[in-house]
Structure 1
Amino acid sequence: MIQDKIREIRAGELPAFNEAYSRYHQSIYQFVFKKTQSEYIATEVVQLCFIRLWEKRNSLSETTELNVQLFGMARQVMIDEMRKESTRLKYNTQSSQYPFTDNLMKMIESKDMLKHFEQEIEAMPPMRKMVFNLSRDNGLSYLEIAEMLGISTKTVENHIGKVLSRLKHYMFTILM
């Protein structure tokens, strides 16, 4: 029964808390991600929401379903995080040494974009992915890659061009 789970959480029983986490963390993540379009913020809000659940377990209502209380907490945590974000951005002073990373929102967006880029690269044909990784991760020249793989430098250039073209296309579809 739902009230029993709430009573167990209120009593500090970890199995009940763990069950609530297992049952609701994914749906809370999806809820926050849908609102913010940020994997980073969604992950943070889920963590903070369940920390708040544990810290405020004594004040849980036994008459309101747990999921309603959790989503209410998640909504409030999300609003708090967005307010903090807004305040940081408002008072953020741009550093000449790190102009891009000082803006936390841009950092979050770049982490999300990087994760999507990595997923796009993973979905590419093995040879193309290998050529791109040798170039970008290992810093090898087109000639070094060509000699290593026994292909022409023009083929290396074509593979990297196709990867970059796909990533640019992906980026423009996100921005539009």
Structure 2
Amino acid sequence: MKRRTKTDTTQLQLELADGNETALKRLYDLFGERLLHFTFTIVHNRELAEEIVADVFIQTWKKRVQIASIENLPWYLYVTAKNISLNYLRKERKQKFVELEIINLPLYTIEPQAVQHLISKDFLQSITNAINELPPKCRLIFKLVKDDGLTYKETAELLNLSIKTVEAQMGIALKKIHTTIQVLIPVYARRQQH
């Protein structure tokens, strides 16, 4: 659950503006898989989602000079992915907006290196399971906010939801995770004593 900071992408933006192709590859390494999962939730076709993500990075390369002045590059990438996905759906005369309840998300994973010194693998797996048991809309919102560092407002705009809905869904997610932790702490503490 590493939250991206502005400085993570600022240097990449400057390198892109200078025409550094390696910076584009590093940007792809940072966001490619995340954007693939996101676009898949919209178009429900992995090959098409891969093509859309490639288009996002082609467009990013074409606009590399303008990219340097963008304040929130992750937000830009997600909005670009959403727009390209919706354009495809419009061309195919499919629905413009996808119901978040029917999206097919990949299972959520927590990066173990970020917390490996604090909790056991079993504890981490239990938290991951709790996140994966969330309803699809709730899990997507949690991922966009906690993993990808989007604000509630950005997440709401990206998913065509109200900020109140995003807040409510984050509340549900955090309550579920909190409940799981509250149940696990006594079990984990007993294990540590033995």
Q: The TM-score by the shorter chain falls in which range?
A: 0.3 to 0.5
TM-score calculated relative to the size of structure 1: 0.46
TM-score calculated relative to the size of structure 2: 0.42
Larger % of helix: which? Answer: 1
